[in-house]
Structure 1
Amino acid sequence: MNSLKKIFFIVLLFSLTFSYGNKKSYLIDQMSLDLGIPWGMAFLQKDKLLVTQKDGQILLLDLFTRKKTFIKNAPEVFYTGQAGLLDVKLSPNYKIDKWIYFTYVKKDNKKGSTTLSRAKLVKNSLVSWQDLLVSKSSTENKVHYGSRIAFDDNNHVFFSIGDRGIRANSQDLTNHAGTIIRLNMDGSIPFDNPFVNDDKVLDEIYSYGHRNPQGMFFDKKTKKLWSIEHGPRGGDEINIIESGKNYGWPVISYGKEYWAPLSIGEGVAKVGMEQPIKYYIPSIAPSSILVYSGKLFKEWEGNIFSGALRLTHLNRIILNDKNETIKEERLLKEIYERIRNVIEDDEGYIYVSTDTGRILRLKPNDR
């Protein structure tokens, strides 16, 4: 059997193995199954997927041959607890500027700081590495680093940072923990950031009052920046992020204390603090967010997708024109996997990564 026939047979076998009958609107192709924890994914080309692994390795996955090429000169990451190498996104001007953006946890003695960086890829090696912002978020806790990256259409880059396990951080604007940051593409501070004229607030902060946002997506159609974050015991939130807004943690929350069925802070609402578009009780433990284009799955156009870690499924939310939830569906429950990331390619296929090291592709059942 020649190599092309082998490849066709493997693809067919995976499609048959992970198809769940005509009752579902999708089939599943397994694209890779032996990675570490594939935290971030970004398409370099149609069939070339750049993958960051939490342990600090970066690889290029050929989706046609399934070949993995490890990228040289990856940064040294602080890999412990929830820390490690996190997200990856290509510059929206990648064809021209060739920049690839990363978030990772940079070691600071025995602590770690969520860091936004960028580099270029030349012959399977990273060059011109730049740390654009080493955030002021170090604590001795090994939790709540964030972090996802998003770009708007005005040459801004956003990235999220968790509260680092210290709740008060999210309302203390002299540090970056518990915030979403907005920078220019070169790491400089936009002149119209909401707090640039306030000496008591760090200039990079765009929004605050977040617990641990591990999903972020800029919808080019609606010009809205979406975020999803972990609550405590209940209270995961989907939010639309706006400049200068306070999203409440830990003053308000729909979650409860881990150690008792007690409310957190002052309740679920307070004047001057934003309400979520949706909250989850119990927690699904969300890890990413996507607003789907509808290119292949027409009935899913504009739907919100999120990976769920604790409740092991792909979460689908249908909103009305007032951004109110009218339906929730839980996909991929049958594979019992912690879904770490969800992205879409240019053709409309949906890709998810799991904490057991698998990358799966969803395609319509009629193809």
Structure 2
Amino acid sequence: MKSGIFSSVSALVATSLIGTQLIVSNAVADEAGMEEVLLDNSYTVTKVIDGLMIPWGMAFSDADTLLVTERTGNLVQVTLSEQTKTTLYSVNNLYAKGQGGLMDIAQSPEDANRYYFTYSDKTDKGATTSLATATISNGKLSNWTRLLKANADSDSGRHFGSRITFDDKGHLYFGIGDRGDRDNGQDTSNHAAAILRLNLDGSVPTDNPFVNDNKVANEIWSYGHRNPQGLFFDKATDSLWEIEHGPRGGDEINLIGKGLNYGWAKTSHGKEYWGPLTVGEAKTLPGIEQPKWVYIPSIAPGSLILYRGEHYPQLNGKLLSGALKLAHINVVDIQGDQLKEQLRLVTDLGERVRDIAISPDGLIYFSTDNGNIYRLEPKPK
């Protein structure tokens, strides 16, 4: 039984009053054609706020307070119990065109009042991705400071990245796309098409892989990434997971290693937009790291987390990615060094899932490009 039969009904319910619940199916893709089928158990979803302008990133300051970046440039504080939203800050010099705008937000692992942001910064050549930090306390933002203005300028409005994550050794990681220029994929003299690694103060760690190579930007941790829009460090396994957009087909989940080349655009599992031709020289080449999972067709990933907790036993230890094109939460099982797609959640909403966040009390929240934020209720019905 296909889930699409319920899509129009669920989408209609999803636009109703905030706080109401609706049933959304768990769906799994079969191996022959990725056809969606319903499973026996379903989660309930509660809409907690609406009316946002493409809520791109989310970070909890406490279980009742959610900080949300709108791609149009505003940082909004959402009080869940009161179902209210307040604008705390509007980013200056923002390039809010194409795929650009105010992007991710992440709370510092060492200071609960300090937050990091990625955004597309206007430049003389068009725009680039920048990293900033600020203090948020008592509902007020102060000390907005840009830490890095990436050497990734382009007049293209495409492929800015960019998610933020932290390891447990005082380092910050964030990704930047190829900025619409495929040659950037293998050009390590700039920051495009790369995962960058910094200290929390924005300085370069002395053990970064290319600090002694004057032909490679010091901040680069890995390269050859088309457009990374999901990045998550799993402290339990000391693993850095990344998900990125392929071209027409070929979205990738990668396990990121120090100094490794992930191939774009020499290798790709996708096709050219204008025909059946493959992209690059091959799907695999010596010296290039292979993805752990490839999506054909593309799901258009918007985010990535690895859930660990007791509220959702079926999801414990799984990778969860928001999907934009196919409008669902993608659940991937980790089986040793292999991945396997397991579930597709909230397909009946019919909304592009942008970001996924875990609250301090262990609940899953997700945002959609429709301007809504939902909570996935932990008890299947």
Instruction: Give the TM-score band, short-chain normalised.
Output: over 0.9
The corresponding residue for 1:62 is 79
Q: Letter of the 2:349 partner, please give it.
A: I
Higher relative contact order (CA 8 A, sep 6+): 2
Residue 108 of structure 1 deviates from its aligned partner by 0.3
Q: Which stretch has the larger CA shift, 68-77 or 349-358? A: 68-77
Does residue 183 of structure 1 match 2:187?
Answer: no
Contact kept, 8 Å, 1:297 with 1:348, in 2: the verdict is no
1:87 to 96, 104, 115: 104
Task: Indicate if the aligned counterparts of 1:233 and 1:257 stay in contact, CA closer than 8 A.
Answer: yes
| Deviation digits for residues 174-232 of structure 1 (CA, Å, limit 9, x no counterpart) | 11000000000000000000000001111000000000000000111111011000000
Q: CA deviation at 1:72?
A: 3.1
Quote the Cα distance in structure 1 between the aligned partners of 2:282 and 2:122.
Answer: 36
Please tell me whether residue 258 in structure 1 is matched to residue 273 in structure 2.
yes
Hey, what's the Cα distance between the residues in 1 that align with 2:191 and 2:60?
Answer: 29
Unmatched runs of 5 consecutive residues or more in structure 2: 1-15, 26-38
Q: 1:320 to 1:166 in 2, by over 3 A?
A: same
Q: Which moved more, 1:188-197 or 1:72-81?
A: 72-81
Give me the whole-angstrom Cα distance separating, in 1, the residues matched to 2:234 and 2:42: 24
Instruction: Classify 1:26/1:303 alpha carbon distance in 2 versus 1 (closer, same or farther; 3 Å).
Output: same
Q: 1:136 to 1:20 in 2, by over 3 A?
A: closer
Give the whole-Å Cα distance in 2 for the aligned partners of 1:16 and 1:359: 13
Q: What is the match of residue 242 of structure 2? A: 227
Equivalent residue runs for 1:124-143 within 5 Å: 124-143=139-158
- 1:308 and 1:33 map into 2 onto residues whose CA distance is 19
Residue of structure 1 equivalent to 2:226: 211
How far off its partner does 1:366 sit? Answer: 5.0
Asked if structure 1 preserves the Cα contact closer than 8 Å seen for 2:302 and 2:355, the reply is: yes
Shift of 1:90: 0.4
- Count of residue pairs brought into register by the alignment: 353
Matched, 1:315 2:330: yes
Residue 80 (structure 2) pairs with residue 76 (structure 1) = no
Q: 1:236, 1:285 within 8 Å by CA — same for their partners in 2? A: yes
CA contact (8 A) 1:73 1:127 kept: no
Following superposition of structure 1 onto structure 2, how do residues 238-249 of structure 1 map, counting pairs within 5 Å? 238-249=253-264
Q: How far, CA to CA, are the matches of 1:23 and 1:76 in structure 2?
A: 50
Say which of 344, 364, 367 aligns to 1:330: 344
- Length-normalised TM-score, structure 1: 0.93
The share of aligned pairs that are identical, in percent, is 46
**Is 1:18–2:22 an aligned residue pair?**
yes
8 Å CA contact 1:119–1:126 kept in 2: the answer is: yes
Within a 5 Å distance, the mapping from 1:272-283 to structure 2 comes to 272-283=287-298
2-structure distance, mates of 1:143, 1:366: 39
Aligned to 1:101: 116
Q: 2:356 aligns with which of 335, 342, 351?
A: 342
1:298 offset after TM fit, Å? 1.3
Alignment pair present for 1:33 and 2:56: no
Quote the offset at 1:135 in angstroms. Answer: 0.2
Secondary structure in 2 matching 1:94: coil
Partner of 1:156: 171
The answer as to 2:57 corresponding to 1:53 is no
Mark the CA change 1:25 to 1:221 in structure 2 (over 3 Å): closer, same or farther: farther
CA contact (8 A) 1:56 1:76 kept: no
1:13 Cα deviation (Å)? 6.7
C-alpha contact (below 8 Å) 1:15/1:28 kept by paired residues: no
- Deviation (angstroms), 1:329: 1.4
Once the two structures are overlaid, the 10-residue window that deviates more, 18-27 or 46-55, is 18-27
Partners of 1:179 and 1:206 within 8 A in 2: yes
C-alpha separation in 2, matches of 1:77 and 1:301? 38
Query: Secondary structure at 1:299's aligned position in 2?
Result: helix
The structure that is strand-richer by fraction is 2
Measured in 2, the distance between the counterparts of 1:365 and 1:240 equals 31
CA shift in 2, pair 1:27/1:89, >3 Å? same
The code of the aligned residue for 2:223 comes to Y
Give the letter aligned to residue 352 of structure 2.
R
Secondary structure of 1:364 counterpart:
coil
Kindly report the root-mean-square deviation, in angstroms, between the aligned alpha carbons of the 2 structures. Answer: 1.7
**TM-score w.r.t. length of structure 2:** 0.89
The residue number in structure 1 matching 2:32 is none
